[in-house]
Structure 1
């Protein structure tokens, strides 16, 4: 088994947009104490931040010669990571994708490359564990429920504890030879670019390994409005992937869409019969009960925010999915930059 890693063949890329509060901590977590990350190419691809993100990275570049700042004119994450497809990075064999809204364990980069070499796979994905990083009561409630079946729908990369081959997960490491053959991410996707890439990868015969021993901490949204926008885009992105590849969504993805459609239909026929309000009433009671149970479990009134978070996630994703599914033209759908 190959154990020696040449840092010159590895690149880490971090897309950013107004991440002044997090970027220095993220870079420190990634590079400190990691024999590969401290010497490989580390790129911050900024989408036009209006805060001090670029100034912070520029200052850190004086301390870390392997750190670089690049401009991502398209602003979206897919375009940022596709910067590695340019001839400048032809010598890179392994690429690591990081997120400024997360916390990373020491040795993250080295562990991922070792895993990719050991398993001989095309991609390595990792679990995300949602935690609150502020005093936001809403964020705390959301973090407590985000990785549960009611939140993430039982997705194995959301709090999962079992390693193995999979069809999709949170993107962490890539074999660049395969990434180049597949022309990288589809930049028409502002969200769900990861799942869309994984679909092409598995159709190509590539392999994905979920490494549950290498975990990251994910900081969810702090307000219901930001969570709504996030999950509305997630629903749109999933519908777009389904349409592009003519595939059916998984059961856990169909549930919020069907639930949303039933609730909207119930409201539409309310003047005719109130009987169809039975399902929305049952759902509301279930969500309220869940919030109470979370509050009791964590001995915090913030647990009640879990109810609001769940309702927001379910309806935002469902409406986003249904609205995108009903559109006729699949192109030019995401004119605005991601948050």
Structure 2
């Protein structure tokens, strides 16, 4: 339990007083991987289940997860991150998360078939796996779950995805908070790509390329409007090609909206702002993390 000023500590103390099975483990530094490791070390049962804040478990989450763990022999089981919303904005973000054009192709963002996976959302672990491969890397303030799954797979053990195992997740509540979260996520993904060859993927290169192309295209539109035919022939032809990039990006946004069946039309139109608020900050963050490292980048959107 990290330090907070929003009443969380008082609520946890009340829960501990009401139920002796609940144990609070202080985490003075407030960092996620540190808190996870402290809690795991304080545990004694054979199965460890991670549940983050702003999540909502299905009634059979624990029983289903443990059954899958035992049935498959996996050492880490995860399910679908089922993004949900209480407001029109949150529901639009949830629709973006469900779209392949939102957060990419990770199994836990889509209805991929059950089977071995690269990573797992949250995680239901055999307790023994931490003795075998080690605990969460406390230098990774984000992305520590992916790195843990990497070590599990490198040890010849299995990470398993079960699409019937759902966790409700409530996204950020504003464009500002969503952009800050996306930037931090991109920075730490860049850090992972910088540290590990396995952390590199073509799908992670696409957002920076998209941002570069769109920026050049918008610059070309502006220069063409100002200078017009005074631009030499060859540069003008190159600028004509560059101007296709923002058009293509707007086309992708239109496709994403057309393929989204969630919510009324006015909520789906919010995707015109939501998707760029995910793509552009993430891309800038990824480049920063890839080149300079994360350097303690922290998203404080929900920290009080």
TM-score of the pair, normalised by structure 2: 0.85
Match of residue 39 from structure 1? none
> Residue 29 of structure 2: SS of its match in structure 1?
coil
CA contact (8 A) 1:127 1:212 kept: yes
Determine whether 1:65 maps to 2:27.
no
Q: Aligned runs of 1:61-140 on 2, under 5 Å?
A: 61-86=16-41, 88-89=42-43, 91-132=44-85, 134-135=86-87, 137-140=88-91
Instruction: With a CA cutoff of 8 Å and minimum separation of 6, indicate the structure with the bigger relative contact order.
Output: 2
Number of equivalenced pairs: 287
Match of residue 253 from structure 2? 287
Superposed displacement of residue 165, structure 1:
1.0
CA distance in 2: counterparts of 1:257 and 1:240, whole angstroms: 15
Match of residue 28 from structure 1? none
Instruction: Give CA-to-partner distance per residue, 1:293-318, whole Å, 9 cap, x none.
Output: 64x86334121111211111111111
CA distance in 2: counterparts of 1:335 and 1:105, whole angstroms: 29
From the superposition, tell whether residues 187 and 297 of structure 1 become closer, same or farther in structure 2 (CA, over 3 Å): closer
Superposed displacement of residue 194, structure 1:
1.0
CA distance in 1: counterparts of 2:159 and 2:246, whole angstroms: 39
Determine whether 1:202 maps to 2:202.
no
Superposed displacement of residue 146, structure 1:
1.4
Instruction: Give CA-to-partner distance per residue, 1:170-228, whole Å, 9 cap, x none.
Output: 12211222123322111111111111111122112121111112111111111111111
Match of residue 315 from structure 1? 280
Aligned with residue 10 of structure 2, among 33, 44, 55: 55
Q: Aligned runs of 1:126-205 on 2, under 5 Å?
A: 126-132=79-85, 134-135=86-87, 137-205=88-156
> Residue 171 of structure 1: SS of its match in structure 2?
coil
From the superposition, tell whether residues 254 and 169 of structure 1 become closer, same or farther in structure 2 (CA, over 3 Å): farther
CA contact (8 A) 2:52 2:122 kept: no
From the superposition, tell whether residues 112 and 298 of structure 1 become closer, same or farther in structure 2 (CA, over 3 Å): closer
CA distance in 2: counterparts of 1:254 and 1:278, whole angstroms: 19
Superposed displacement of residue 331, structure 1:
7.3
Match of residue 3 from structure 1? none
Instruction: Give CA-to-partner distance per residue, 1:126-169, whole Å, 9 cap, x none.
Output: 1111111x23x221211122111111223211132521111112
TM-score of the pair, normalised by structure 1: 0.77
CA contact (8 A) 1:235 1:317 kept: yes
Q: List runs of 5+ in structure 1 lacking aligned partners.
A: 1-45
Match of residue 37 from structure 1? none
From the superposition, tell whether residues 178 and 300 of structure 1 become closer, same or farther in structure 2 (CA, over 3 Å): same
Q: Which structure has the highest helix share of the two?
A: 2
Q: List runs of 5+ in structure 2 lacking aligned partners.
A: 224-234
Aligned with residue 333 of structure 1, among 279, 296, 299: 296
CA contact (8 A) 1:126 1:169 kept: yes
CA contact (8 A) 1:139 1:221 kept: yes
| Backbone CA RMSD of aligned residues | 2.4
Superposed displacement of residue 337, structure 1:
6.0
CA distance in 1: counterparts of 2:211 and 2:56, whole angstroms: 33
From the superposition, tell whether residues 338 and 246 of structure 1 become closer, same or farther in structure 2 (CA, over 3 Å): farther
